[in-house]
Amino acid sequence: MLSRFTAIFLLLLLFWSCEEVVELDVAFDPAVVVVSEVAPGRQARVSLSRARPILSQSPTEYVVADEVTILNRRTRQNTALFLHEPDKDTLNPTVEQFPFYLSREPIITGGTSYELMVKVGREAPISAITTIPQQVAIQSLNLIDFSENIDPREDDKFNIDFNLSFNHNSRTSASYHLIFYFIYAVQQGIESDTVLLNRLQIPAVENISMQFPYTFDFENGVLIRGEDMSEGTHTIEGNLSVNFNQEDSPFPPELWVELRNTNADYQNYHFNLSRQLSQRDSILSQAILVPSNVNNGLGVFSGYNLDIQSVRLTN
């Protein structure tokens, strides 16, 4: 009897251990992915790549177009963008620099509608339309504290405490993106001379305090939805951290804070992509679709307006 049960158990174990690989014949369209966010006073920039299957491990394929233009739909002025291939970052040689299309000078003004056109070989023309919202203003930016972290295990780590205020008007602003930059100068020897070079670092946001909901952005800073805000002046307090060696910099560094008034396409793209990336490691997470406003392609062509202020960081 025991041998019979043993034989049955081994037979069941054999079937359970069998694994069958099922090939899914799913059609995939390697559409062109467009990412472009335009604003007044800044050169227009457009990145083009190919979409990849969700399980693909292949590197990103960047697209070289026949023509990339941005049309001002009010004045009918059409501006061609050129292919820009950035130089290697000598301080970060392992960071790959990707090509993109760039306007030779700023072409965007506030409150105007723009149309992006991209032509790639014999594929259907790619297009998208966006508008530029009105400018918003940072009313004040104040440094509360800039000091080195006292934890000896974290050398050269500094904390930045600050507050800022701005005025929300629902007639001109629907959503915001608050962005931070840490800028400092370093001395570097080039041949027989010593020169000063400006360096930029994206601070880590340790804590943000405000009276309305916000979401951390996948690139930098926080996203704020205007419909959750009351009219009038609002104050935001924050704590950031940076890695900084004071001995390498002859001048005090600066914190630059940028407040963007963003349109709906910009906000929806950043909000949903941030949510997607924050939970991408969990197989139980609900799928989050990133919206696209691009015809005959994927991605986003969106606009924003901005104000930027700085404060010098002193101990």
User: Domain of 201: which CATH number?
Assistant: 2.60.40
- The parent domain of residue 107 ranges over 28-132
- Whether residues 143 and 126 share a domain: the answer is no
Q: CA of 292: how far to CAs of 32, 33, 131, 258, in Å?
A: 12, 9, 15, 25
Structure confidence by residue, pLDDT tens digits, 74-89? 999 999 999 998 776 6
Tell me whether strands 214-216 and 222-225 are parallel, antiparallel or unpaired: antiparallel
Contact assessment for residue 212 and residue 227, using Cβ atoms and an 8 Å cutoff: no
- Whether residues 115 and 172 share a domain: the answer is no
* Structure tokens given for 232: 């009038």
Q: What percent of the chain has pLDDT over 70?
A: 84
Residue 199 pLDDT exceeds 80: yes
In whole angstroms, what separates CA 255 from the centre of its chain? 19
Residue 20 lies in a domain: no
The count of domains in the chain is 2
- Whether residues 170 and 204 share a domain: the answer is yes
Report d(CA 111, CA 151) in Å as an integer: 49
Residue 161 lies in a domain: yes
More confident residue, 142 or 156: 142
More confident residue, 149 or 72: 72
Residue 34 lies in a domain: yes
- Whether residues 117 and 143 share a domain: the answer is no
pLDDT confidence of residue 154: 72
The pTM score is 0.84
- Whether residues 121 and 144 share a domain: the answer is no
- Pick the last residue of a domain from 132, 155, 179: 132
Mean pLDDT calculated for residue range 96-111: 88
Tell me whether strands 67-72 and 113-119 are parallel, antiparallel or unpaired: antiparallel
Identity of the highest mean pLDDT range in 5-19, 156-170, 283-297: 156-170
pLDDT confidence of residue 290: 83
Residue 293 lies in a domain: no
- Whether residues 61 and 168 share a domain: the answer is no
- Pick the last residue of a domain from 104, 132, 160: 132
- Whether residues 104 and 162 share a domain: the answer is no
Single-letter amino acid code for the residue at 43: Q
